Structure 1
Amino acid sequence: MATTETRPMSAEEKKVIFASSLGTVFEWYDFYLYGSLAAIIAKQFFSGLDEGSAFIFALLAFAAGFIVRPFGAIFFGRLGDMIGRKYTFLVTILIMGVSTFIVGILPNYASIGVAAPVILICLRLLQGLALGGEYGGAATYVAEHAPAGQRGAYTAWIQTTATLGLFLSLMVILGTRTIIGEEAFADWGWRVPFLVSVIMLIISVYIRLSMNESPAFVKMKAEGKTSKAPLSESFGQWKNLKIVLLALFGLVMGQAVVWYSGQFYALFFLTQALKVDGATANIMVAISLIIGTPFFVIFGTLSDKIGRKPLILLGCLLAVVTYFPVFKALTKAANPDLYAAQQSAQVTVTADPAECSFQFNPTGTKKFTSSCDIAKQRLAGASVSYENIAAPAGTPAVIKVGETVVNVKYSAEDIAAAKAKAEEKLAALNAAEPKDAKAIEAATKSVKDLSNEKTAGATLLGTNLSAALKAAGYPAKADMAKFDKVTVIIILTYLVLLVTMVYGPIAAMLVEMFPTRIRYTSMSLPYHIGNGWFGGLMPTTAFAIVAQTGNMYNGLWYPIIIAGATVVIGGLFVKETKDNDIYADD
């Protein structure tokens, strides 16, 4: 057990902890730029696909960075346990910074074709590897400098870095958008936040070169107790592997989905499901982060007094109990017209169940082309909840909005009639005075799309479905005049507070679960499997669940089930760690 005597943090120790935290903020900034700009990156690098598929592929490329994080944790964790925390830090931030800068200068799909998304995904993989080695080192480094009895308070500063990095990325994006305008930002301005990161890279490298090595590692090295095989010791011996598994399933798995639900999924839900414009959604999330971020330190400090485990599991439990009512309240506050339409106009998809796929495709190699899948993709993309009705085998899918029936598949005669009607409308617009340039441009595009054999069916479906939804009161986007800013901020802040409750104490707890000689390796792997795989795949998985079930809120079952499992496993099998001696050999 640790001694109850605590010592004050020296000025030098405070300096190196600040340096470590600041460098980690910059790394998270680099990593989250991509997530914040997913919609624009989809158009720049996946423009060979339709809009919905392009966004899904962009999310999958985002997730690719998370998928490789455990491999970065293994590789850099081993280095950190063998040669030290400081130099491992330096390598990870160089990889992250250079990869981010290259994204800023990478030609898009229109310039170099398929090479663009291939290179982009490779850069995302490098970012994920670097981040996989970053967090465990930062948390270990800070905890090994902290006085006994104050590790929760000091490591909580590291916990703020992910949120601060996200906040900083949102602010740079918002500032660039405001200065150059939306059109220029979508064209080339999105590159600016990536290019600016090179300044942060220089600052971070300078800061990290000035840091001292962890005192626990220095002591262990002087005593000749460093591990020669941290991987086999961490994962090849059951006494350590058992703790790794408990850390993953009894702590990190639930923490991860609460974290991504409260910050990233909330942002995706606002922009994609509720159709709130990107600038407003970013401002709302940024305000909630400003309000909520101090609570990382508050809950970290509180965990030094009452324990880490009760706070983490309470945060997970609150998520399980409140997510459905909270996200429904968010819909009512952010897009009341959509909320009202969902209550008044029933939408159904009648289809052959054999044609309906579960649209989860993490490899990005499968296309969903059946009429059922197309219908569900369209409705999910339009934020429309619907009921599934089974039809006889071989029956093409049909969408019904209120009393209006919308076919999903169209014959050549249907397309020819629609084309003739569109040409008639275009001729009338061209003959009218004064001329409506925007209407003429839209009508010209409609005629062109209906003339193209490959796009005609999709165009006609889109036109008919949009008309039916509009007649039923479904808005194309959120009406900002009805947007309840105060309520939205309150809801988002609550979600961030749950994040701080589960995330604030977890670094200290993970550090305290493992001996010094294998700490970097052992704690990094469960952290990055939990956050990289369970958390990083959440947007894609949630979208697939929504498309499959027809309910825009059903994506929440993913974090609810995982957080619930963590409450049970953690409650039964994970031991409290706040009084553990982190200098102990075992």
Structure 2
Amino acid sequence: MENQKSHSYLKVAIAACFGTFLEWYDFLTFATLAVVFAPLFFPSTDPNTALLASLATFGVGMVVRPIGAALFGSMGDRIGRKPVFMITIALMGLATISVGFLPTYDQAGIWAPILLVGLRLLQGLSAGGEIGGSAVYLTEHAGNEYRGFKTSFLQLMGPLGILFSTLQIALLRNYLSAEDFQSWGWRVPFWISIVLLLIAFKVRMALEETPVFLELIENGQKTESQLLNNFKDPEIRKRMFLLFFCVSSSGAILFFCVQVYTAIFLKTSIHISAGLVDQLSIYATLALLPLTIFSGWLSDKLGRKPVVISGLILGALLILPTFYLLEALATGANEGNITSVIAITATLIGLSGILALVVGPQTALLAELFPAKSRNSAATLPHNLAAGWIGGLLPFIVTWINQQWENSVAGLWYPTILLVCAAIIAWQYLPETKSTNLTN
């Protein structure tokens, strides 16, 4: 019986994780190609202006994530977790595939960036329903033992999405001339989404509804949308804020600092070659995978709260010094100094370790903080609000502050201050949830 349960959970985990991998791959390929998109869709005599426009378009997709979370999270409480998954995966896949067939500014004029922004909005709506909802789905299947460990695998899908995207782009840059890559090579990652979408859709068709949601139906507790009721309940409202500011915002800040902004910083601010940056990003991402699983396991042993808070404190203390160190090592790396390259790699892996402490327990925390009947909407809205408004706009805001101050590191005071505040509030108010019974 135990083996049957383990097999059933493994099947659910693979199906849920593969779909979320596709969501992240589709969503973050855009970030990986932000520097490429700048001249293709936002031509300007000033490269900085074009880059800001490209980063702003990436941010638009993040900003609308809360709308998708409100819409699909509410649907998840009302009609079930599984139907929402089918809708979000189809929406994300179709929007991403379409990006691969878009005309550039030279071909279609102003319609090129308009269409790009429109598809980015659809991606954001889909991600809002998927990311957060998938955490609830997987956690409700995980049972009460080792939830942190078993659900931490979902957090690997973001790094794996970036890794798969980065590997493709590195290979394309290696085998194509710069002219061919700029002409059509950048479209290939989006075209590959066609195959991934078909696989993900087939896998998700075999998913089962969560036992927690089925029990709600059997007990007659299935109700209309819980979204408004969540804001009327003071305890749920308090926990939504704690999730938003202390867990999801902080995880998003560290994720985009470590997985997104570092690559942009290394390429555009300190001018390390794109090929070398892609290689370094791959090494850091590979290191993040076991570190995340370890952090999820550690949260089962020590508790979610101490593990998350340790990540917040380390992030607040080390983000700024780390980027100053990367800046100092840039000259040696550009000259081919192997010691400098190794030092940069070690620094990026260190950042990955800090990120893992916050995101490893995050999947379980999202579900454990809220009662079953309102869990989907209560978890997805603050999580996507944080990821969209705080994390998604982070590269744009940091880059803008850097340009205003004419300093490539000045903008990082923004995430540092947010992490300090999150650590203080979490220390005082974040509850320990590792022993929560999810059926309540």
TM norm structure 1: 0.73
- 2:208 equivalent among 191, 208, 212: 212
Alignment correspondent of 2:433: 577
- Partner of 1:145, secondary structure, is helix
- Within 5 Å, give how 1:272-421 maps onto structure 2: 272-336=268-332
**Partners of 2:152 and 2:296 within 8 A in 1:** yes
Identical aligned residues as a percent: 34
Alpha-carbon distance in 2 for matches of 1:480, 1:61: 34
CA distance in 1, matches of 2:132, 2:323: 32
- What is the match of residue 491 of structure 1? 347
Measure the CA separation in 1 of the matches of 2:393 and 2:194. 28
Hey, what does 2:77 align to over in structure 1?
Answer: 81
Distance, in Å, in 1 between the alignment partners of 2:278 and 2:365 is 32
Q: Which residue of 2 aligns with 1:169?
A: 165
Partner of 1:36: 32
Deviation at 1:8, TM superposition (A): 8.4
Question: Aligned letter for 1:562?
Answer: L
Q: Is the 8 A contact 2:132 2:366 kept in 1?
A: no
1:226 aligns with 2:222: yes
Counterpart of 2:122 in structure 1: which amino acid?
L
Letter in 2 for 1:302: L
Map of 1:532 onto structure 2: 388
CA contact (8 A) 1:335 1:482 kept: no
Residue 252 of structure 1: how far off its partner (Å): 2.0
- Provide the C-alpha distance between the structure 2 equivalents of 1:251 and 1:227, rounded to a whole number of angstroms: 28
Shift of 1:224: 1.5
Closer/same/farther in 2, CA of residues 179 and 287 from structure 1, 3 Å limit: same
Code of the residue aligned with 1:193 in structure 2: it is P
Q: 1:100 aligns with which of 96, 116, 119?
A: 96
State yes or no: 1:27 paired with 2:23.
yes
Tell me how far apart the structure 1 counterparts of residues 350 and 386 of structure 2 sit (CA, whole Å): 22
Counterpart of 2:407? 551
Q: 2:232 aligns with which of 226, 231, 236?
A: 236
| Secondary structure of the structure 2 residue equivalent to 1:128 | helix
Report whether the alignment pairs 1:152 with 2:164.
no
CA contact (8 A) 1:63 1:537 kept: yes
The alpha carbon displacement at 1:7 in A equals 9.5
Q: CA deviation at 1:544?
A: 2.0
> Counterpart of 1:514 in structure 2: which amino acid?
F
SS at match of 2:271: coil
Shift of 1:292: 2.1
- Cα distance in 2 for residues equivalent to 1:139 and 1:8: 22
**Per-residue deviation, 1:539:** 1.1
Q: Secondary structure at the match of 2:437?
A: coil
Q: What residue number does 1:566 align with?
A: 422
State the alpha-carbon separation in 2 of the partners of residues 329 and 510 from structure 1.
34
Cα distance change on mapping 1:578 and 1:180 into 2, 3 Å? same
2:175 counterpart (175, 179, 185): 179
Retained in 2: the 8 A contact 1:8–1:147?
no
Q: Deviation of residue 479 (structure 1)?
A: 3.5
Residues 333-376 of structure 1, C-alpha deviation per residue, up to 9 Å, x if partnerless?
Answer: 23249xxxxxxxxxxxxxxxxxxxxxxxxxxxxxxxxxxxxxxx
SS of the residue corresponding to residue 184 of structure 2 reads helix
Question: Is 2:144 the counterpart of 1:117?
Answer: no
Bigger shift: residues 519-528 or 230-239: 230-239
Deviation at 1:482, TM superposition (A): 7.0
Q: Which moved more, 1:161-170 or 1:537-546?
A: 537-546
Return the alpha-carbon distance in structure 1 between the equivalents of residues 3 and 144 of structure 2. Answer: 7
How far off is 1:188 after superposition? 1.1
CA distance in 2, matches of 1:29, 1:335: 32
Change (3 A) 1:73 1:49: farther
- Give the corresponding residue for 1:47: 43
Aligned partners of 1:271 and 1:533: how far apart in 2? Answer: 24
**Aligned counterparts, 1:49-68, within 5 A:** 50-68=46-64
What letter is aligned with 2:90? L
Residue identity in the other structure for 2:193: S
Over 3 Å counting, the alpha-carbon distance change for 1:572 and 1:308 in structure 2 is: same
Q: 2:68 aligns with which of 56, 66, 72?
A: 72
Question: Which structure features the higher share of helix residues?
Answer: 2
Counterpart of 2:357 in structure 1 is: 501
Cα distance change of structure 1 residues 483 and 278 upon mapping to structure 2, 3 Å threshold = farther
Return the alpha-carbon distance in structure 1 between the equivalents of residues 164 and 320 of structure 2.
29
SS of structure 1 residue aligned to 2:220? coil
TM-score by length of 2: 0.96
Shift of 1:174: 1.3
**1:406 corresponds to which residue?**
none
The whole-number CA distance in structure 2 between the counterparts of 1:11 and 1:254 is: 34
SS at match of 1:227: coil
Greater shift, 6-15 or 239-248, is seen at 6-15
2:291 and 2:356 in contact (8 A); partners too? yes
Cα distance in 2 for residues equivalent to 1:327 and 1:250: 23
Q: What is the CA deviation profile of residues 489-521 of structure 1, one whole-angstrom value per residue up to 9, with x for unaligned ones?
A: 100101111111111101111210001111111
Q: Is the 2:148–2:300 contact (alpha carbons within 8 Å) kept by the matching residues of 1?
A: yes
Q: CA RMSD in A?
A: 1.6
**Secondary structure of 1:105's partner?**
coil
Partner residue of 2:131? 135
Contact 1:7 1:147 in 2 (8 A): no
Which string of whole-angstrom CA distances, capped at 9 and with x for unpartnered residues, describes residues 1-54 of structure 1? xxxxx9984212211111110111111000011100011111111125632211
Name which of structure 1's ranges 93-102 and 232-241 shifts more when overlaid on structure 2.
232-241
Q: Deviations over 1:138-165 (max 9, x none)?
A: 1111101112121111110111111111
Structure 2 CA distance for aligned equivalents of residues 239 and 147 of structure 1? 24
| Contact 2:398-2:411 at 8 Å conserved across structures | yes
Q: Count residues in correspondence.
A: 439
SS at match of 2:73: helix
CA distance in 2: counterparts of 1:336 and 1:235, whole angstroms: 53
Q: Which residue of 2 aligns with 1:518?
A: 374
Deviation of 1:483 after TM superposition, in Å, equals 7.5
Query: Which residue identity is paired with 2:427?
Result: G
